């Protein structure tokens, strides 16, 4: 496997993001294939026994086993690292494998984590259920309240963990201010950037130490595979994360890595078009429902902050109807084009009722506190002509009595 002459890190890291998304990390086999090769192999062979020994000793470059290295997966890792502006990246089987590894690899019994209240349901399960079971203390704060992060700090605080925009309330965390507080406390800031992707938001430039992804969402972008990634410093990836992932095995399959590599080629295009479509659909829906949370519209209480740290509002937003679960379900059932689906980051427009799906596992009190009410719906705006999506909502809203 080799890079095109002159395309080492010193050159590729200076490429602009859209170029990196198409070409970053590409290495070619002896056949000189244009598109990235897919290496479906679990193991590797050696010419001589001494080569095997040298590779295991770390004295010879090369692959040993696909839980440790795979050429297709490494291309994806290099591409995401470059896109993120990170020194290194490790791909994972899913977004949740990425979040779990990013937290567990650096926390021990007796440590303390501060996390944001509004979060993906499984991320809240990690902070509320899994970590405490291993003696890791957690404090949950309203991520929008920057002072609350400062107040939550304890002498044993090791990690701050948040996503922004947050699923599904679209709360915005002031990335720079909260990362500064983490660093003043001697803690590390882990940011889940799944909703924005490096196209819209670059947390490392605002002080994040580690950026973790569900690549299942916008990075694949076409609803095909599950994937995740953790990006950070060389030191963190090599010394802290690698030991954890190599020995616990939440690896990304080469096939899924290849699919995400193809997805990344169009990430910049898709992201920008889906944001434009989302503004149109949200502007229409805003006039028909009591309340809507879209960081890309001035009606969002944190619109200014969102636009300071993001290039656009993203493809996802949530809205509320007054008639609780019955009216929310009636609206979903009346949709003819938009699918009822709990996935996001797809090129198709998809809508779900978080209280009965993605956030059903949380207690009603936690849901209420997060703002996930019975009348809330979350929408991912896809790549369809937005006028068709608007027309579908127009008829479905009428059927649901809105
Ligand atoms: C989907 C999602 C995850 C989990 O990712 P999977 O790939 O489904 O495991 C984590 N965080 C956020 C913000 C997500 O949207």
Q: Across residues 257-262, what is the average pLDDT?
A: 98
**Does residue 9 register a pLDDT over 90?**
no
- For 192, the domain range is 9-110+150-157+174-264
- Could you tell me the two tokens for 376? 């809330």
> How much is the pLDDT for 362?
83
- Could you tell me the two tokens for 55? 């590779």
Q: Across residues 126-155, what is the average pLDDT?
A: 97
32: CA distance to ligand 1 center in Å?
35
Q: Across residues 172-180, what is the average pLDDT?
A: 98
CATH number at residue 350: 3.90.1150.10
Nearest atom, ligand 1, residue 217 CA? 1
226: CA distance to ligand 1 center in Å?
9
Residues 39 and 104 in one domain: yes
**Does residue 197 register a pLDDT over 80?**
yes
- The residue to mutate among 95, 121, 164, having the most atoms of ligand 1 within 8 angstroms of its beta carbon, is 95
Q: Is residue 167 part of a domain?
A: no
Q: For residue 159, give the H/E element and its range.
A: strand 157-163
47: CA distance to ligand 1 center in Å?
42
| Count of domains observed in the chain | 2
> How much is the pLDDT for 52?
96
More confident residue, 225 or 362: 225
> How much is the pLDDT for 89?
98
Please list the alpha-helical segments (H only) found in 4-48. 9-12, 17-23
Nearest atom, ligand 1, residue 96 CA? 9
- Confidence band for 402, pLDDT divided at 50, 70 and 90: very high
Nearest atom, ligand 1, residue 227 CA? 7
User: What's the CA gap between 401 and 285, in Å, rounded?
Assistant: 14
Q: Do the Cβ atoms of 389 and 339 come closer than 8 Å?
A: no
- Confidence band for 5, pLDDT divided at 50, 70 and 90: confident
Atom 5 of ligand 1: nearest residue by CA position: 95
End position of a domain, from candidates 206, 229, 264 = 264
Backbone angles phi, psi at 30, to 5 degrees: -60, -15
- Confidence band for 284, pLDDT divided at 50, 70 and 90: very high
Nearest atom, ligand 1, residue 216 CA? 7
- Confidence band for 136, pLDDT divided at 50, 70 and 90: very high
For 180, the 3-state DSSP assignment is helix
Atom 2 of ligand 1: nearest residue by CA position: 214
| Average per-residue pLDDT for the chain | 96
53: CB partners within 8 A, 6+ apart: none
- The residue to mutate among 93, 122, 171, 172, having the most atoms of ligand 1 within 8 angstroms of its beta carbon, is 122
CATH number at residue 43: 3.40.640.10
User: What's the CA gap between 282 and 276, in Å, rounded?
Assistant: 10
> How much is the pLDDT for 2?
86
218: CA distance to ligand 1 center in Å?
11
223: CA distance to ligand 1 center in Å?
13
- Could you tell me the two tokens for 296? 């890309």
Q: Who lines ligand 1 at CB under 6 A?
A: 94-96, 99, 120, 123, 163, 167, 192, 194-195, 214, 216-217, 226, 228, 344
Percent of the chain exceeding pLDDT 70 equals 100
Nearest atom, ligand 1, residue 119 CA? 13
- Confidence band for 161, pLDDT divided at 50, 70 and 90: very high
User: What's the CA gap between 346 and 159, in Å, rounded?
Assistant: 31
Question: Is the N-terminal amide bond of 165 cis, ω within 30° of 0?
Answer: yes
50: CA distance to ligand 1 center in Å?
43
Residues 310 and 388 in one domain: yes
Q: What share of the chain is helix, strand, coil (3-state, %, to 5)?
A: 40, 15, 45
> How much is the pLDDT for 163?
97
- Could you tell me the two tokens for 247? 């020995």
Angle subtended at Cα 341 by Cα 197 and Cα 334, rounded to the nearest 5 degrees: 130
User: For 167-196, b where at least 16 C-beta lie within 10 A, e where not — what string?
Assistant: bbbbbbbbbbbbbbbbeebebbbbbbbbbb
- Could you tell me the two tokens for 69? 């290295």
Q: Is residue 377 part of a domain?
A: yes
53: CA distance to ligand 1 center in Å?
39
- Could you tell me the two tokens for 282? 């949200």
Q: Is residue 166 part of a domain?
A: no
**Does residue 6 register a pLDDT over 80?**
no
Q: What is the pLDDT of residues 202-256, one digit of tens each?
A: 999 999 999 999 999 999 999 999 999 999 999 999 999 999 999 999 999 999 9
**Does residue 370 register a pLDDT over 90?**
no
Residues 302 and 357 in one domain: yes
- Other C-beta atoms closer than 10 Å to the C-beta of 230 total 29
- Confidence band for 87, pLDDT divided at 50, 70 and 90: very high
150: CB partners within 8 A, 6+ apart: 181
Torsion of CA 199, 204, 205, 207, to 10 degrees: 150
Please list the alpha-helical segments (H only) found in 197-322. 197-200, 234-235, 242-248, 254-265, 267-286, 303-309
- The residue to mutate among 217, 314, 315, 343, having the most atoms of ligand 1 within 8 angstroms of its beta carbon, is 217
Residues 52 and 69 in one domain: yes
> How much is the pLDDT for 4?
84
Residues 308 and 225 in one domain: no
Q: Is residue 31 part of a domain?
A: yes
Provide the 8-state DSSP code for 293. Answer: E
């Amino acid at each position: 496997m080799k890079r095109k002459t002159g395309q080492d890190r010193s050159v590729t890291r200076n490429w602009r993001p859209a170029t990196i998304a198409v070409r970053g990390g590409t290495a070619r086999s002896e056949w000189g294939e244009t598109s990235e090769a897919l290496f479906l192999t679990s193991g590797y062979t050696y010419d001589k026994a001494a080569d095997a020994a040298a590779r295991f000793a770390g004295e010879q470059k090369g692959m040993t086993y696909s839980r440790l290295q795979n050429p297709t997966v490494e291309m994806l890792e290099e591409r995401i690292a470059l896109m993120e502006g990170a020194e290194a990246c490790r791909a994972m089987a899913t977004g949740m494998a990425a979040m779990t590894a990013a937290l567990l690899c650096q926390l021990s019994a007796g440590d303390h984590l501060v996390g944001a209240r509004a979060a993906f349901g499984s991320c809240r399960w990690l902070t509320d259920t899994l970590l405490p079971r291993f003696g890791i203390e957690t404090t949950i704060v309203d991520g929008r309240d920057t002072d609350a992060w400062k107040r939550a700090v304890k002498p044993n605080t090791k990690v701050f963990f948040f996503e922004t925009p947050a699923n599904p309330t679209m709360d915005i965390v002031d990335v720079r201010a909260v990362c500064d507080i983490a660093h003043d406390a001697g803690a590390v800031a882990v940011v889940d950037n799944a909703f924005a992707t490096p196209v819209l938001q670059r947390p490392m430039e605002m002080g994040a130490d580690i950026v973790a992804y569900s690549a299942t969402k916008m990075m694949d972008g076409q609803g095909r595979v599950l994937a995740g990634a953790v990006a950070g410093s060389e030191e963190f990836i090599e010394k802290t994360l690698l030991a954890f992932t190599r020995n616990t095995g939440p690896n990304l399959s080469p096939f899924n890595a290849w699919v995400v590599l193809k997805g990344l080629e169009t990430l910049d295009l898709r992201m920008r078009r889906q944001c434009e479509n989302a503004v149109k659909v949200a502007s229409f829906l805003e006039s028909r429902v009591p309340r809507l949370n879209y960081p890309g519209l001035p009606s969002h209480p944190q619109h200014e902050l969102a636009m300071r740290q993001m290039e656009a509002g993203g493809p996802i937003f949530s809205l509320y109807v007054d008639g609780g679960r019955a009216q929310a379900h009636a609206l979903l059932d009346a949709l003819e084009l938009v699918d009822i689906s709990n996935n996001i980051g797809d090129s198709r427009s998809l809508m779900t009722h978080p209280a009965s799906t993605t956030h059903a596992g949380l207690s009603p009190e936690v849901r209420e506190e997060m703002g996930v009410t019975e009348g809330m719906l979350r929408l991912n705006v896809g790549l369809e002509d937005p006028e068709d999506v608007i027309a579908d909502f127009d008829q479905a809203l009428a059927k649901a009595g809105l």
